[in-house]
Structures are given as structure tokens and as C-alpha cells.
Amino acid sequence: MNKTWWKEAVIYQIYPRSFMDSNGDGIGDLQGIVSRLDYLKYLGIDVIWLSPVYQSPNDDNGYDISDYQAIMDEFGTMEDFDELLAKAHDRGIRIVMDLVVNHTSDEHKWFLESKKSKDNPYRDYYIWREGQNEQAPPNNWGSCFGGSAWQYDEATSMYYLHLFSKKQPDLNWDNKEVRQSVYDMMTWWCEKGIDGFRMDVISMISKTSEMPDGKAEGLYGDFGPYCIHGPNVHKYLQEMNETVLSKYDIMTVGETAGVTTELAKQYAGEDARELNMVFQFEHVEGNGKYGKWTDQKMPLTMLKKTLSRWQRELHGKAWNSLFWDNHDQPRAVSRFGDDRPMFREISAKMLATCLHMLQGTPYIYQGEELGMTNYPFQSPDDFRDIESINAYSQWCANGPLSHEEFWPCITAKSRDNARTPMQWDDTENAGFTTGTPWISVNPNYKEINAKAETSDPDSVFHYYKKLIALRRENPVMIYGSYEPLLEDSEELFVYTRTLDLEKLLTVCNFSDKEASFTIPYEFVGAGCLISNTENTYDKAEITLRPYEAFVLKI
């Protein structure tokens, strides 16, 4: 297996809107990030993944881009960006940009041209179709944010495709000019000195030319088989690699919803010449009551089965990302751990141990290193996210479910859980802003904040810091092979990693009860690399505390 810096790195994801506000308008910005670089340096991360900072009307908080080569006014200027990049580099921190090129904003100049007339030079930049008749769109596909995936446009009496909101029209990647425009833009950023791209929904860029109705679930049909891992996706990524990526020492990660381990070897195979790694969702998907909306926890055996399959099948062949949460997911500790006060810290540390000891590149989502929790939503008015707002309307206000049925599901999964402001200290608004924050601060900021945790050696923060440092000293954490133990246990997640003569045993109790465990013979008496509690591991029969985690090394 090739050794590369991006396999050895730890990534920290910043959602700029919610990270740090420097000018009191209630919205996080680039100077805010600059002011917190020393915090990130102290934590020890190697790379920042910056969620989109480009010019955008913010229908989907920056994932709807109207100019790829300008900075969103609310976030600052291109000079601020250059300063951020330089100051990050001064500290040895790389910056990976979010690349959102499955779609643009409907306010992008390409789209403004495209919709003008059928013979506009930009017409073919997007996916236009005639309706079936005056009232009906070309097919029954539903969009990810609710409603039809087609929007009627009066100027030319045709429909355009949008797999997300109607303000996010899909680009037509079959048009060579579209691809070249995207590559030119990417090259421009690479020449500026950025260190890579996180590619938004990149598995959706190629669509089939036939667009039949999809299998209907409720009102709308599924576009999946026609738009995800479409016919030319690998061809286009290879072309992108050859034209842009291969010319720079950068890192690329593809957001690839619905990817299988087989497909991952194509997207991110060691010799595939497409992307460096995939970002897959199998372990955070599934068992939905109403689509993605559910308050049910995934059984541990199922979670382990999924993660173990990814570990085994990619080893030596392709590279994966490791994450529990991001800006689209609820908070890790609330979802996979236990955010009740007596278990919050220990279970957050347990989850960190479990993830950082696996093979892949770990991602920390802002605030995860503090054990930040889900938000206690009181009413639908608390939502800011287009997906949550539309889902509530579609399923509940204008749909089949009662508020009582749907409320526990939407509050458990809403993306806004992850988007409340970063909790810096115990002053008003958690030190995020001196103004009124664009989204409410979690009321638990007085207990959970960076100031308190950086000064407490036993905090979740310091535990993450320690895990990051261990990665530098233990190549087995990065390159070792994986073997699961106790696969049928609903309480314990146990596995080994092996590299030459080095061997690690990771044991994590995912339950709020004590659990007994027999340390395998070869590890009895081995040194303890890290543990989230005070326990001794020098005899075979041990009792783990609720949410205990430890790693032994021989």
C-alpha cells in the first residue's frame, strides 16, 4: 500500500457560517476562522475542509454557488481568503475546498444565460426537457429537498432538472464545455495554492440520457438508478484527474452517497486515477421510518457489520474516510453515544477511540472535539435548514403524519443539529458572536465550550488531541490490517489492527451498562495506549464501565 500524507492526516471540517463571527453580524466568516487557527493548531489537526465560502444566495447555505471565483460577501473578501490560506500554511495546516459542481445556483451567470432562450450558447450547460404535457414534468422524479426534481421555466416553456432545491439546477456534464469550465476553475484554485477538494455529491454528475419514471415511494419516483454512479462518472473523473488533479500534490475526497465497496475501488482505488478517497454513508444510513427521518438507533451489530465490511474490502485496494458526523448529520455523541450529562464525555471519548483506531482518514466535524450535542428544538420555527423546513412541510404540515409522530424523527436527524454555533466559551452566545446569531446557540454552552475544555486535561478536547498525536507515533493506526472480534455482541465493538510486529486491540463499550470482557491471551499484560477511564488491563478477565474504551498495544 502506498504511503501518502493524506492517509496519515486528520481532517477538521469547518462550517464557516457557524464557526466564528469576527464582525458581530451573527454570521461566521473567514476572519473568524483566522482568529481560531491557533486553536486548531493546538488540537493538532493537519487539514481543514472548508464547507463552501463562494458567492451564493444561500438557498442551501453556500451549496448553491453563483460565482466559483468569488467569496460570499457575508464571509469576507478574496483578500481574507488569501490571508486564511497563508496563515494556515504558516502553521502547517492545509486547506481543502468544497467543490460543488453537480449543480450551480440558479443565480450563476451560466444559468441566467441558459434560461434565456433555446439557442443561447449556455443552453446546454444545464439539463432541459420538454414536459409530458402543459401541466406535467418530464418524469416523476422527486428532488432530495422535496417536491419534483423538475422546475418549469416560463421563458422557454421547458423544465430544468434539479436533484436538490429548485435554486440548484444540475449542470450537464455531458457537455464538454461544462467540464472544461469546471476544470479551468479548479486549476485557478490550485494555482492559488489550495490543498485539495472535497467533491460534493460527485457520484451524481453523470445522468443517463433516457430519463424514465423512477420507482415511486409516495408522491415521487426515485432518480437514483439514472443519476447516481451514472454511465460516464468514471470517465469524467479520470478526465478531471488527468486535466487538473494529477498536476498538483493535493487531496481529493468524493462525497459518494450510495457507493458500494466495489465501486469505491473505482472511485478511490490505489491505481484508479480518479479520487484519493471516498466519503461513504452506509454506516449513517438505513432503517428510516419515513425516508431518512427516524429516531431509531442502528443496532450495534449492524453498524459493526457495515464498518467491518468497508475495513476489510478496501484494505490495500482503496481508501476511505472515517466520520460519525458532519454538517448534514446529527451530532455524533447524541446519535451513537449518550448525551445524558453523566455519559456525555465518556461516550464522546469512546466514539473517538473507535473511529480513530480504524483504517481510513479521520474527519472531525467542528465541535465534535468538545462533545457538542444535538439541539433541543422546541418548534419547527427553530429550523433554518431548507431540508428540514421542506421535510416538515411535506411529511407533516401538508402531509400524512401528525406533529407528534414526526417531531421525534425530524429533531433526531435535522441537519441543523450540527449547524448551531461553535461553543467557544461561557459568555453570551458562547463567544461565537457579539451580535445575534443566525441560528440559536445550544443552551448547554455554559458547560460545553472550548475554553473550559482546553483548560481541563481530562476533557473530550484533550482526548482528541491525544488520539491525533498517537496517530503520528503509530503507523499501525494508519496502515495496519483490520480484524473484528465478538461480531455478535450488541454491547462491545472490538477489533485488532496489525502491521508487521505491531498489534493493537481496541475495545469499546457502546452500552450504558457494565460489560465483562476477556482480553485475548496475547494482549494480557500489553501496554495501554489510551483509555477513557481509570481501569487496569493487566489481567484477562475485566469488567468495562458503561461506554468505556481502551486500546492495548503489543
Q: Which entry of Ca ion, ligand GLC, none binds 412, CB below 5 to 8 A by partner kind?
A: none
Give me the DSSP letters along 139-175.
S-BBPTTSSBSEEEETTTTEEEE-SS-TTSPBB-TTS
Contacts (CB under 6 A) with ligand GLC, residues 255-274: 255
> Which residue lies nearer to Ca ion by CB, 191 or 428?
428
Give burial (CB, 10 Å; 0-12/13-18/19+) of 510: buried
Which H or E element spans position 506? strand 502-509
Cα 380 to Cα 149, 228, 377, distances in angstroms: 24, 31, 8
Contacts (CB under 5 A) with Ca ion, residues 303-322: none
Which of 46, 200, 328, 368 is an active site residue? 200
> Which residue lies nearer to ligand GLC by CB, 144 or 358?
144
Residue 426 annotated in active site: no
Report CA Rg, the chain.
23
> Which residue lies nearer to Ca ion by CB, 21 or 368?
21
Contact 179, 260 (CB under 8 A): no
Instruction: Locate the DSSP E strands across 241-374.
Output: 251-255, 277-279, 321-322, 361-365
- What is d(CA 79, CA 199) in angstroms, rounded to the nearest whole number? 24
Q: Which of 212, 196, 213, 265 is CA-nearest to residue 234?
A: 265
Helix (H, G, I), strand (E, B) or coil at 113: helix
Number of residues that bind ligand GLC (CB under 6 A): 9
Contacts (CB under 6 A) with ligand GLC, residues 73-102: 100
> Which residue lies nearer to ligand GLC by CB, 60 or 345?
60
Contact 453, 462 (CB under 8 A): yes
Least separation in angstroms between residue 190's CB and ligand GLC is 22
| 164 forms part of the interface with ligand GLC (CB under 6 A) | yes
Least separation in angstroms between residue 255's CB and ligand GLC is 6
Least separation in angstroms between residue 417's CB and ligand GLC is 13
Q: Sketch the per residue contact string, 378 through 397, with ligand GLC: x for CB under 6 A, - otherwise.
A: --------------------
Least separation in angstroms between residue 468's CB and ligand GLC is 24
> Which residue lies nearer to ligand GLC by CB, 255 or 338?
255
- What is d(CA 373, CA 363) in angstroms, rounded to the nearest whole number? 17
Helix (H, G, I), strand (E, B) or coil at 242: helix
Residue 79 has what DSSP assignment? H
- What is d(CA 416, CA 384) in angstroms, rounded to the nearest whole number? 7
Instruction: Locate the DSSP E strands across 228-272.
Output: 251-255
Q: Which stretch binds Ca ion (CB under 5 A): 15-23, 41-49, 141-149, 332-340?
A: 15-23
- Answer for which of 195, 328, 338, 453 binds ligand GLC (CB under 6 A) is 328
User: What residues pair up with 48 in beta bridges, in sequence order?
Assistant: 12, 95
- What is d(CA 360, CA 275) in angstroms, rounded to the nearest whole number? 14
Residue nearest to ligand GLC (CB): 63
Residue 227, sorted as left (phi over 0), alpha (psi -120 to 50) or beta, turns out to be: alpha
Q: Which stretch binds Ca ion (CB under 5 A): 2-10, 18-26, 120-128, 458-466?
A: 18-26
> Which residue lies nearer to ligand GLC by CB, 56 or 459?
56
Least separation in angstroms between residue 256's CB and ligand GLC is 10
Q: What cell numbers appear for 166 in the block? A: 429548485
Least separation in angstroms between residue 327's CB and ligand GLC is 6
Q: Which entry of Ca ion, ligand GLC, none binds 100, CB below 5 to 8 A by partner kind?
A: ligand GLC
Counts of helices then strands in the chain (DSSP H, E): 17, 22
Residue type, 326: N
Q: Sketch the per residue contact string, 99 through 128, with ligand GLC: x for CB under 6 A, - otherwise.
A: -x----------------------------
Q: Which entry of Ca ion, ligand GLC, none binds 29, CB below 5 to 8 A by partner kind?
A: Ca ion
Contacts (CB under 5 A) with Ca ion, residues 19-48: 21, 23, 25, 27, 29
Q: Which entry of Ca ion, ligand GLC, none binds 491, CB below 5 to 8 A by partner kind?
A: none
- Answer for which of 200, 325, 368, 491 binds ligand GLC (CB under 6 A) is 200
Least separation in angstroms between residue 27's CB and Ca ion is 4
Q: What cell numbers appear for 90 in the block? A: 504558516
Q: Which entry of ligand GLC, Ca ion, none binds 416, CB below 5 to 8 A by partner kind?
A: none
Least separation in angstroms between residue 28's CB and Ca ion is 6
Q: Which entry of ligand GLC, Ca ion, none binds 25, CB below 5 to 8 A by partner kind?
A: Ca ion
> Which residue lies nearer to Ca ion by CB, 21 or 328?
21
Contact 268, 254 (CB under 8 A): yes
In this structure, the strands spanning 361-365 and 321-322 are: parallel
Least separation in angstroms between residue 32's CB and Ca ion is 6
> Which residue lies nearer to ligand GLC by CB, 100 or 322?
100
- What is d(CA 67, CA 173) in angstroms, rounded to the nearest whole number? 18
Helix (H, G, I), strand (E, B) or coil at 252: strand
Which of 29, 46, 255, 325 is an active site residue? 255
Residue 255 annotated in active site: yes
In this structure, the strands spanning 11-14 and 47-50 are: parallel
Active site members? 200, 255
The residues that touch ligand GLC, with contacts defined as CB under 6 A, are: 60, 63, 100, 164, 200-201, 255, 327-328
The residues that touch Ca ion, with contacts defined as CB under 5 A, are: 21, 23, 25, 27, 29
